[in-house]
Every structure is written in C-alpha cells, then in structure tokens.
Amino acid sequence: MSDTVETAPAHGVNLTPSAQERLRKAVEAEGNTSLRLRMEVKAGGCAGLQYDMWLDENADEQDLIVNYDGVEVVVDQSSALYLTGATIDFEDTLMRQGFTIDNPNATGSCACGNSFN
C-alpha cells in the first residue's frame, strides 16, 4: 500500500486516502449523502469468517462510526473485535479493482481470499 493511513480509534479500522476517495465517489454516485460504508464480519466462507461491506444509511446506537474527511465507516461492536488494526484500501490496477482488507487479526485465509480465520 502506497497511501498514508489515517488512524480510527473508535473501531480500529483504518481507511487509506485512495479508499476514502473511492468511497466518496460511490456515495456521490448514489446521490445520498447519508450513506456510509458498513463493514461486518460474519460466520461463513471456507475459512470460517467472512467480510461483508455495503453502503448503508442506517446506524444503531451501539455502532462505531468514524468520519474520514467527509466519508464514514461504520462497524458493529461484535465485528470490531475482529477488525481492530485492519486497513481498507482501494486498488485500481490492470489485474485488480476493488476494496482490499489487510487484517492483522486474520491467522489464515481461504485460497480465494474471501474468508479468514
């Protein structure tokens, strides 16, 4: 990752500047400034746990929300336990385009990279 990472003490997830910019563009494309990136860890996948991310305008009282220069990332408290120190980046290369997650808490992952343990 070539971008400088900003720290997110509320839920421990970091968002690189390139991920911030891509998230900003996605929210603008939807035309709803109330949208934020929700990140969740749930049971599933071949390694036991999997990430789920989507644009969401809802937030519960217990959700942990961090604002990154006008775009927000929301994580529920149980998912935050698995995500502390994780970094979300956005890659746009010939071989790959999309958000990536570098999670120091993952001890292993499946071959396709969609789940972890």
Residue 1 lies inside a defined structural domain of this protein: no
Residue 5 lies inside a defined structural domain of this protein: no
Residue 2 lies inside a defined structural domain of this protein: no
Higher pLDDT, 31 or 47: 31
Residue 38 lies inside a defined structural domain of this protein: yes
Enter the tokens of residue 87. 């970094």
Residue 94 confidence (pLDDT) above 80: yes
Band of the pLDDT at 71, cuts 50, 70, 90?
very high
Query: How many domains does the structure of the chain reveal?
Result: 1
Enter the tokens of residue 63. 């959700």
Residue 117 lies inside a defined structural domain of this protein: no
Residue 8 lies inside a defined structural domain of this protein: no
CATH code of residue 76: 2.60.300.12
Band of the pLDDT at 59, cuts 50, 70, 90?
confident
Residue 115 lies inside a defined structural domain of this protein: no
Residue 26 lies inside a defined structural domain of this protein: yes
Average pLDDT score over the chain: 84
DSSP per-residue string spanning 22-81:
HHHHHHHHHT-TT-EEEEEEEE-STTSEEEEEEEE----TT-EEEEETTEEEEE-HHHHH
Taking residues 35-59, report their average pLDDT.
87
pTM: 0.79
Domain span at residue 67?
A: 14-106
Residue 87 confidence (pLDDT) above 50: yes
